[in-house]
Every structure is written in structure tokens, then in C-alpha cells.
Chain A
Amino acid sequence: MKKIKLTTVSKISGIALCITGVFITSCQNKGKNGNTVLGGDVASKVYVAPGNYDEFYLFTSGGFSGQVGVYGLPSGRLFKVIPVFSQNTENGYGYSEETKPLLQTSFGFIPWGDAHHPVLSKTDGDADGRWLFINENNTPRIARIDLKTFRTTEIIEIPNSAGNHPSPYCTENTEYLVAGTRFSVPIKKRDVPINSYKESFNGAISLIKVDKETGKMSLAVQIICPPFDYDKNRAGKGVSKDWTFFTCYNSEQSYTMKEINASQNDKDFILAVNWKKAEEYLNAGKAKKMNTPYYHNFFDESTQTAKSEVINEEFILEPKDCPGMLYYIPCPKSPHGVDVSPTGEYIAAGGKLAAMIPVYSYEKMIKAIENKQFDGEIEGIPILKYDAVIAGEVKNPGLGPLHTEFDDKGYGYTSMFLSSEITKWKIGTWEVVDRIPTYYAIGHLCIPGGDSKHPFGKYVIALNKITKDRYLPTGPELTQSAQLIDISGDKMKLLLDFPTVGEPHYAQSIKADILRKNQVKIFKLEENKHPYACKNEKDARVERKGNEVHVYMTTIRSHFAPDNIEGIKVGDIVYFHVTNLEQDWDVPHGFSVQGNNNSELLIMPGETCTLKWEPKQEGVYAFYCTDFCSALHQEMQGYIRVSAKNSNVPLSWKVGND
């Protein structure tokens, strides 16, 4: 009945559709507490017995927490929060002297970021388990996490940009990552009236090269595009591997009350970028230079210390100089997501306000380019004819289509924000074959490998924006929520709700076996090249250089060396360089000293970390191990004596009686 009703109203009006949508939603919500919708032995499908392992890792962005959450699937258990763009008191990330440089930007030290899209590095279009990249929206940056250590090892800033949302999505062999500009800005940064938007503002599309061996990122080139809002991206693969696709809205070029003013046009665009061509133009010397300084921060594994470099030059390509590099494809109603099928042939877009999902054909796009089937151009960028490029439209998929991922059986799964559901549709026939409600307001969705050439069509994870009544209430601020849905059969089945850290904006998932075998358990002491490492308790010492005091400290179960320090003076800047001498898996030691104004350190076996401490008053201060390391953890403590500025107490240190 519902289906018939939907079909008949489909052509009437958006309002009628909306009403139907509400009706459907209310019907679907009847079983929301799981009493009626969960059939069969659902619990056994998500149960991972104590001591056993999950089949998949799930990496969720923490959204506005700036971090990445690591979960197991199907259990939904949280294993780790990886600090990326935000300081983390739990382990000293962004507080220790070694990690502070990672958060440096051209705007100064930024302790927070808005993390959006975790993207696994790929080889031949499939996740290879080497790195996880994630973009920062507010102060445009991309970070790289090393999946051997689950640590952030590099952050690069994106100049000439604002709102780095369509990022970092990688090409088929991680040749490039992309960045884009959701908020077009004057390039380069300068003081102009906001109402000069059309003349003075632009949207930069950036290609960031990734070194094949080391993963190290570098900004290759920026393409200066018309001042639209570049919103989402997905790279081509297989047949379309030389291309990458961006959605953009605000073709109206409005700069105020965008809620209304950027929703006027029936169609906005997908920007198809031939990144191979961009590479050719760059190599052919077509690029101009620009000088907006930006930061590149890199963690050196051997010295265990991050360094910042400021880069003062970037290469700029202008569309008018680069024929064949960019094309606009018309796309209905403020598109958001753009996603590419496993073969690379189909490109599905999600128009937030559209009543259908347009799916484009790569083959048709190439033909339309060859035959010059254009509908005019914008600033030198040809607009392809919609009818020449469209492969099919998924009609009446629900309301507010956003993102699509694919399974291995020829189906697409699209999230429907307004009608809170996932719609499953068939590639080729474009018919809707199944739908399942989500609770509530799904944004992104994730199928393990669902953006790759070889998806694992076992689960889809709904990443929801609204939680409301799904869990026990916790005041006005609620946890965010994800849902695990079985897609192995014809009908999707809800298996599990699980709370997430921060907003689970987007997630990617990978077979656990690919990562498990590569995990680093300890850092080898002999490979520790930290300039302040102390690899032997006998070498533990304190050195003064003017008012700087460097404590070369060691930890091993269950003491610090030295654990008695005297001769510090008010006004000194004390650096505790703590080396954990343990060479035993999962035996970190923690370090904190009374009144330290930053955070604790959590030092992994074989690692050296540095805490800066500036005592302001005379006295004897206690320090101790903060991580329960052993049966004598409580004994793992020491004292540091701080004397007056003009005192004669000599610098001394010891451990034990000698």
C-alpha cells in the first residue's frame, strides 16, 4: 500500500511528498524500542565472546570532538579514542613537548578541531590498512594516522581555504587526497567587503600528494574555482580512476541567509575533476605561484618528536588555462553526498532537498565530453547536459538523500536524513528494493569497504545525528549514536545500537586481520633517538641551562630515577624528559607533578615524553605514576624541592640510598 501511495504522489509536489514522508516515518517508528522489529536471534549476531575478537575495525570520526573513535564490529565495543585535532589529557597528546607541534597552524596553536571524514588508504581501490586520513573542517587541515601505532603522525594545513569539508577522500592508489572549500573565501586572504563575494571570493580545490612509501603528504596544487560551496567528494575508481568528483551547492553565490538564498536554483552541480590532467598541467608549468603560508607538521618516529615547518609557496591552476580538466554536471537541489559504485561506472549524488537520487554514468560523461554536449559554461568550466550524463534516477527513495555506499551484490544504500531511513536500491534498474528506519536522522552510513572496489556486504552502519529517546537520558546533552544493520539477506535487519564518542560523522571499516598483524606492541629502546632519551637508570640526571632545568628521568616497575630532586628555583622552567625503560607490551607509565598546568604524560614502553613545568611557589612537590602499572604502583612516586629564586640549594638528585 505504502509503495503505491508513494508512486502516485511522486509527481504532485514536494509538499505532498513531505506529508507522505511524515506518515511513513510515524508508521516505522512503532517498533523503535526493538520490541517488534527485531526478529530471530539478533543477540548472537553481535555477541563476541569474552576474550574473542571482532571481525572488523570501525573508525568513526569524532566530529566536533576532533578525534577518531575505534570500535569493533559486530560488537560495537569502543577500543580507543585516537586524538587527532584536539588535545587529549588522557595521554598528553597536544600537551607534551613532543606532540604540541602537531597542532600548530598559520593561526597559531589550535587545541581543537572538527574532524569529519576518516578515509583508509587504498591500493588498487581497496583499503590496504596502512594509514587513516581525516580532514578538519574549521581550520582546514588533513591528518594522517599510522595504523601500526594508531597515532596521529602528520597534519598538513590547507591554505586559501575555509570549511575543509569535501576531504580527504583518496584516489584509487592513494596518489592524492583532496581538500575543498565549503565556504568560498577571498584568495589570497585579504580584507574585502563581504558583498564583493562574486568578484572577490573563490573556492579552492586542492590535491595533496601522498608519498607511496612513507605516506608523507604535500600540497601539490590548488585549482581556483567559482565561489560555490564545495561540499563532498569521492574519487573515481576502475574505469573512472583518473577522476574525482565534488558536489557543490550555492551556485546562487549567496553570502547571507544561505538557508534560503542558497536553495533557489533547481540544480546545482557536481564538479568532475580530471586529476591526471591537473597533474599534467602542473608538470607542464601551467601553474602560478601563490604565497599564503601554511604549516606542515610531522612526527618523526625515530626521535619520537613532531616538528613544524612553514611553507610559503603553493601552486595554483586556473580553470581557463586548463581545458579538459574540469566539468560541471547539473545535479538537483543542493547536492551533498557523491559516491562512486565499485566498478567506477556509476556516480550517485544525494540532493538534500531532492525527491530522487540521480545516478550518472561515467561512460556517458566521457561521451558527452567528446561530443561537446554542453549547456554553456561557468568561468571557463563547461556544463555537461544533464540528459547526456544521467544513467538513471532512483525515484521516491525517501526524503533528504545524503550519502550512498555499495555492497558486493549490485545494490546501493542511501541514507535519508529527513525520513530517517536507509533505502536500498538496485544498480541498473534504479528500483528501491528495501528500506529500514534509523533512529534518528541518519547522516553518513558505512559499509565495510563500501567505497572500495570490493565491499563486504555484511553490515551497514547508520551514523545518526539525533539520539532523543534511544538510551537512558543524561540531561540535555545526549550521547551520539550508531546502529548496526545486517545487509547479508534481501531484507535489512537492525542488530544493534551503540553510543559513540563525539559525533560519528562518517566512518570506515576494515577487516581486523589486515591491521592486527601489523600492530606495534612496544617501541624498541635501542631505536629511540629522542635527543633527551635516558636509556639507562644509571644515566638519569638533572642538568641546568640558565633557568631551564632538564630532568633526564627513567621509569621502570616501580620507580622513577631520579625520585628526589633538589635545587629547583621559582622561575625555573623544568622539563621532565621521561623515558619508559619497560620493554613489555601494555606497560605504560604515567607522569604528573603537583600543579602541572597541562596534563599527565602517558609514556609507552621504550618511549620518551616531555612535560613542561613552571613552579610558581617554593615548596616540596610530589610527582607520581598515574597509570596503575604494577603491584607497587602506589609506591611509584617522588619529590621535587623548589626553593626561592635567590636560594643556594645546589642542584642534586638521587634514587635509593646511595
Chain B
Amino acid sequence: MKTNYIYAYVIMLSLVGCSDNNPTSSTGDNNNLNQQKETKHQGFASISDSESKKNVLQIAIESPQHKTLVSAVEKAELVDVLAAVGPYTVFAPTDEAFKSLPAGTIDELLKPENKTKLQNILQYHVAPGIFTNDKLKNGVTIGVANGGKVTITEKDGKKFVNDAEIIAVVEGSNGNVFVINKVLLPQ
């Protein structure tokens, strides 16, 4: 686990490096009344805030190894949900994890007609409540957002959720992100 923490720390640092995004950008505070009538995009994900700790969505977006996960979250229209107040525990498969799925699986899931299926899979990766790493002990079972359950096991100093290894932990404002090396498939 020690190396995992170091890894997490590296991710955190890279996030800090990215954090100087513009603070006032989107909001339509144009004083011209006519222009004000244009309603800006609303939703948690559109809130401009460079001061708060990152939320789980921002952590995923700014991570170099979660591009597939982020595009899946966008396709499933779960962007605003992940930026909401939570609290969440998120198991976040890496791009490598998605690649190890049978060929064509992810392309198929990203098709509009499979949105419900995709949502079901993604929601299998999110649990209500913030679990810290020390609460994820061998044998702990967690109810997840799609109604299913995942199980934690510990073996040889490694920690797994179902059969996916937890390789890093990043604390977010609205939840914790556990980086995993396999996509969890609802049973």
C-alpha cells in the first residue's frame, strides 16, 4: 500500500498543478440587461470555483489516466451528479482497465442506445457515503448506486474491490476516489 499512497500523492500534485483555472469565466454577469436574458448553463458541473478542494468529477477530469471514464460519465449524463454535494465513494477504473475489456465493449457501451446499460455500469462504481481507506477492510460489503453490492478483500498487502485492485486513493471534497485497475461489472 505504501507505493499506492506515493502514487496517489503524485496524482494530487499533478492536480494542484492544474488548479489555476480561471475563476470567473462562464457566469453571465454581463451588466447589459439585454444580454442577461440569456440563461447560462446551470448544473453543479458548470460552477466555477478554483478555491475549493476538487470534487470527484474534477479529480477524474484532471487525471491523465481516466479519459475513458470521463467520456463514459459524459455519455451517461452523470457529470452534474458527480459534481453534486454527494457524499460519494467512487471506484475509478483507469484507461488501461477499460482497454482490458473484450474488444469493442466500450465502443458498444458508448452508443446512445446503450445509455441505460452504461449508467448501470457506472453507478455500480459509486457508493453513497464517504469511505476512507481505513474503513475498507477485508470482508466489508458496500451497497452501490445501481442497487448492487461490492465486496472488499485484502490479500498479500493488497486491497481489492471485487476483483479489481485498489491502486491509489484521492480525497475529494464530495467524496473519495479509489483508482482501480479493472472495470467492475454488475453481477
Contacts and interface: CB of A to CB of B under 8 A. Distances in A.
Contact of B53 (A45, A558, A584): A584
Interface in A281-331: none
Nearest to A557: B87
Interface in A499-558: 512-513, 516-517, 521-522, 556-558
Given A557-B174, A584-B53, A656 B135 contact: yes
Contact of B39 (A52, A55, A629): A52
B85 interface: yes
B33 interface: yes
Given A49-B36, A51-B42, A558 B130 contact: yes
Interface stretch (B23-31, B71-79, B104-112): B23-31
A53 B85 contact: no
Nearest to B41: A51
B49 to A, nearest CB: 5
Contacts of B55: 584
Interface residues of A, number: 30
Contacts of B27: 51-53
Contacts, number: 80
Contacts of A52: 27-30, 36, 39-40
Nearest to B30: A52
A585 B37 contact: no
Interface in A478-517: 512-513, 516-517
A9 to B, nearest CB: 42
A631 B39 CA distance: 27
Given A585-B51, A630-B87, A557 B130 contact: yes
A571 to B, nearest CB: 37
Contacts of A557: 85-87, 130, 174-175
A630 B86 contact: yes
Contacts of A49: 28, 36-39
Given A556-B130, A583-B173, A516 B85 contact: no
For chain B, the bracket of interface size reads: 20 to 34
Contacts of B36: 47-49, 52
A349 interface: no
B52 interface: yes
Nearest to A558: B87
A582 interface: yes
Contact of A584 (B24, B37, B52, B129): B52
Contacts of B129: 558, 632
A50 interface: yes
A629 B52 contact: no
Interface in A241-285: none
Given A585-B52, A631-B85, 19 more contacts: A47-B36, A50-B42, A51-B28, A52-B27, A52-B29, A55-B31, A513-B29, A516-B29, A517-B24, A556-B130, A584-B53, A587-B173, A605-B52, A630-B85, A630-B174, A631-B86, A632-B87, A632-B128, A632-B129
6 contacts: A48-B36, A52-B27, A521-B49, A585-B52, A632-B128, A656-B135
Closest 7 CB pairs of A and B: A584-B173, A557-B87, A583-B53, A53-B29, A521-B51, A585-B52, A584-B52
Interface of B: 24, 27-31, 33, 36-40, 42, 47, 49, 51-53, 55, 85-87, 128-130, 135, 173-175
